[in-house]
Amino acid sequence: GQQVMQIPQYQHVQEGEDFTTYCNSSTTLSNIQWYKQRPGGHPVFLIQLVKSGEVKKQKRLTFQFGEAKKNSSLHITATQTTDVGTYFCAGRVVGGSQGNLIFGKGTKLSVKP
Amino acid sequence: EAGVTQFPSHSVIEKGQTVTLRCDPISGHDNLYWYRRVMGKEIKFLLHFVKESKQDESGMPNNRFLAERTGGTYSTLKVQPAELEDSGVYFCASSQVRPGEQFFGPGTRLTVL
């Protein structure tokens, strides 16, 4: 079936270091969303990317959507302890159901103060 | 504005029993989604309602799962009879716009013994 692969599965960084998580789809996506889940919490929407090659920034977070709309990345500059959590990408396949989000397995980020 | 609520937060049942999960979406959100996360795996789409109609139920695992949304407000997800592999966290999400941001509830952690 359709899959979105996300790497790495875990990332441990020292506070102040950068962090990047990558998603790759086997099929072209119409859009991709990113969510963050804090420990013990639920996924919270961060952003949606729609256009090929799109780059969006939210403070220290930079989101990219690949030219072929098959991959995406989330980069955090100078991590802080508040960045701890699991980051998920979730894409919609071109021609697929509007409601059906395909999630990656997530990247669990831990930040050592 | 109240968020998406789910009840119960935890449920522990024995194999063969029935469990009903409830989701109350954000008021005014016509789109309601059910997802499930089995331990160690990705969040998987189960189904999508638009108001009271099932728009996409392609992710429902089998006919032991029954989702309803009578009146287009809250939704229930019934598992009957429950099996061991049904254990996991069941998330409900709602959205105002179909391809847009989804607001997740806190989830129901189901354990089938």
Distance CA A35, CA A18 (A): 18
What is the rounded end-to-end Cα distance, in angstroms, of chain B? 37
Q: What is the pLDDT of residue A70?
A: 96
Which is higher by pLDDT, B19 or A2?
B19
Per CB-CB distance under 8 Å, the chain B contacts of A90 are 43
The answer to whether A43 contacts B105, with C-beta atoms less than 8 Å apart, is: no
**Which residues have C-beta within 8 Å of that of residue A91, sequence separation ≥ 6?**
A4, A23, A25, A29, A30, A31, A32, A33, A72, A101, A102
pLDDT tens by residue, B22-57 = 999 999 999 999 999 998 889 999 999 999 999 999
The answer to whether B98 contacts A100, with C-beta atoms less than 8 Å apart, is: no
pLDDT tens by residue, A49-96 = 999 999 999 999 999 999 999 999 999 999 999 999 999 999 998 877
pLDDT tens by residue, B54-112 = 999 999 999 999 999 988 899 999 999 999 999 999 999 999 876 788 999 999 999 99
Within B3-113, strands assigned E span 5-7, 10-13, 19-24, 31-37, 43-50, 53-56, 65-68, 75-79, 88-95, 103-104, 108-112
Residue B1's pLDDT band (cuts 50, 70, 90): low
What is the rounded end-to-end Cα distance, in angstroms, of chain A? 40
Per CB-CB distance under 8 Å, the chain B contacts of A99 are 31, 33, 45, 48, 50, 55-56, 98
